[in-house]
Structure 1
Amino acid sequence: MIARRRALLLGVGATLVTPDLLGGPAQAQGPLQMTLNGAWRQGGFAYGRTASRALIFVDGEALTTASINGLFVIGFDRDATGDVVIEARANGQSVRRTITVAPHAFPSTSINGLPPSTVDPTDPALLALIREQVALKTEGFASRVDSDDFKNGFVWPLETYRITSQWGSQRVLNGTPARPHYGVDMAAPTGTVIRAPADGKVSFSRSGMHFEGGMTLIDHGQGLITCYLHQSRLDVTAGQSVKRGDAIGRIGMTGRATGPHLCWRMKWRDRNMDPSLMVGARAPERLA
């Protein structure tokens, strides 16, 4: 059963902990090990290293598979809190660790002067277009590239910028409370080059999105996806592989925007994450 579940996951896409044997003698290579590091807070992440191709469970649910190098990543949503049990299973063995996701105080920001159609659209034709675009984005976010391109961490996608909105802030749009802002807004002149912050594969690239304008998604492995919104020009296409530093687009103010900027976002399997927490982070280089 474990082998079958591992195969299904592959098709889709810190401290030593005492192992719990699932049955049978320990393998010749010794007890299964797992090392973790990361930012264990709301919107944060955990990097892990364990056995090659180990099946990774989060709170008892099989969510991903370690790379051939034994690396994996797990994201924590903005509203995540409390204890999280991370478990690796391989070769008839199991190793687990419980970590605590710390709460974080998020600010509140107000934006006025947005066109009503970008805040509370009512036109039936526009609503139909939005539904179509949601389906397209959903397909892009469903990417599960079998890689560990996230392992060396991330750099900022702009060389020069000014942060105008922090990640996770509670938004008030035209005086109406809205969803939290799941991006880091980085202001820069129109036409400024946007660069890939890490290696990956483009899973979506499209201009003319109603809310996002020019939008690109990059899968950095195992469904860890970064998003780039409001671009004036797109320089990559879906299916294209990129390296850290490659130009992927240009700053703009397309979609729901009041000025030229990049809205930089990150998701892991539908969990919204703060991409700035990944800057400078690196996956464990070895087991404990």
Structure 2
Amino acid sequence: MAVAAGIAAAQPAPLIALRGKAIQGGWMRGQAPAGTTALLLDGKPVPLAADGAFLIAFDRDAAPQATLVAQRSGLPDLVQPIAVAPRAWAIQNVNVALRPPGLPDAEFQRIRAGELAQIKAARAQATDAQGWRQAMLKPAAGRISGHFGSQRIYQGQPGAYHSGTDIAGGAGAPILAPADGVVVLAAETPFTLEGHLVILDHGMGLNSAFLHASVLKVKVGDRVVQGQEIARIGSTGRATGPHLHWGLTWQGKRLDPELFL
């Protein structure tokens, strides 16, 4: 009996169940151990569903190692290091101005500040959407014409890296919800850069943004299901032609949409 107890005591603590790929711009789903009261990724809280399921993700510029901690009632914390694989990013030259032409810099900054505030407020909303649990669908038919993470050079002027996936689906083609969600932003008046913009919250801090639409088919507060039409492809805002720019974020981290398909 003493020997059996000694063997049991020597067994390692259970790991936090994870599936997915730990890579820059990538994601993992997991199941928290029984008794978990809080989950932390690099010291920041991770939303935890009632059944213990969760989602974590890694920014485009994530450090090579992350630490996931499960705090458990009456038990020691369970600490799991995660090695995050690096990626090489491409450089793209785009023959379009960094800012919309004809708009004075001060006026652009004033308008842009208001637009960014709306986007930030939308992404801060937490809904009970369950799309984060689903395998996502490609939101539009067509060739992928721009990949996440590449840096764009606008007529010789460096800009921010490309924060999503571009799909050349053709003007007027439908844009579909890649997963269930709640509409938290629907820009009827085109934004200077994004044009007609829709943001869907998929729950647990994960949301999708759909840029440059010609027509919106949803409004704020609408609940949509995977595969439902939410807009039509256009070239509003700063765009070189009709296409969909699909962006994904999780708790402010920018993710690679192609890794969710």
TM-score (norm 1): 0.81
Q: Compute the displacement of 1:48 (Å).
A: 1.1
Percent identity over the alignment is 34
Taking the aligned partners of 1:64 and 1:265, their CA distance within structure 2 comes to: 21
1:161 aligns with 2:156: no
**8 Å CA contact retained: 1:210, 1:256:** yes
Partner Cα separation in structure 2 for residue 201 and residue 53 of structure 1: 28
Kept after mapping to 1: 8 A contact 2:183/2:222 = yes
Give the secondary-structure state (helix, strand or coil) at the position aligned to 2:239. coil
Matched, 1:70 2:52: yes
Alignment partner, residue 260 of structure 1: 242
Q: Which residue of 2 aligns with 1:98?
A: 81
State the alpha-carbon separation in 1 of the partners of residues 162 and 174 from structure 2. 23
Mapping of residues 144-183 of structure 1, within 5 Å: 144-158=126-140, 160-183=141-164
Query: Does 2:208 correspond to 1:226?
Result: yes
Separation in 2, partners of 1:95, 1:180: 35
**Aligned residue for 2:172?**
191
| Counterpart-to-counterpart distance in 1, 2:234 and 2:156 | 25
Distance 2:70 2:246 in 1: 31
Q: Which aligned runs of 4 or more in structure 1 are off by greater than 6 angstroms? A: none
Residue 116 of structure 1, CA deviation: 5.7
Does residue 85 (structure 1) correspond to residue 94 (structure 2)? The answer is no
The answer for the alignment partner of 1:18 in structure 2 is 13
Q: Secondary structure at the match of 2:20?
A: strand
- Give unpaired runs (5+ residues) of structure 1: 1-16, 20-32, 280-288
Counterpart among 122, 137, 141 of residue 140 in structure 1: 122
Question: How far apart are the structure 1 equivalents of 2:80 and 2:230?
Answer: 38
Inter-partner Cα distance in structure 1 for 2:63 and 2:172: 39
Contact 1:54 1:70 in 2 (8 A): no
Root mean square deviation, CA, Å: 2.1
Deviation of the 1:120 alpha carbon:
10
Deviation at 1:92, TM superposition (A): 3.0
- Cα offsets for 1:213-269 (capped at 9, x unmatched): 011111111110111000001111111111101111000000010110000110011
| 8 A Cα contact 2:233 2:243, kept in partner | yes
Tell me the TM-score normalized by structure 2.
Answer: 0.88
Quick check: 146-155 or 165-174, which moved more? Answer: 146-155
- Higher Cα Rg, which structure: 2
Looking at structure 2, the residues matched to 44 and 212 of structure 1 have their Cα atoms a distance apart, in angstroms, of 24
Q: Distance in 2 between matches of 1:86 and 1:254?
A: 41
| 2:197 counterpart of 1:202 | no
Determine if the alignment matches structure 1 residue 126 to structure 2 residue 108: yes
Q: 1:53, CA displacement in angstroms?
A: 7.3
Look up the equivalent residue of 1:105 and give its one-letter code.
A
Cα distance in 2 between the residues matched to 1:247 and 1:18: 46
Whether contact under 8 Å (1:106, 1:169) holds in the other structure is yes
Residues 156-201 of structure 1, C-alpha deviations (whole Å, 9 max, x = no match)? 001x211111110011011111110011110011110010011111
Asked if the contact 2:248–2:256 (Cα under 8 Å) also holds between the matched residues in 1, the reply is: yes
2:7 alignment partner in structure 1: none
Residue 87 of structure 1 and its aligned partner are, at CA, apart by: 1.6
1:52 touches 1:66 (CA, 8 Å); kept in 2?
no
Corresponding position of 2:193: 211
Compare relative contact order (CA 8 Å, sep 6+) and give the higher one, 1 or 2: 1
SS in 2 for 1:150: helix
How many corresponding residue pairs? 248
Aligned position for 2:99? 117
Structure 2: distance between partners of 1:268 and 1:235: 24
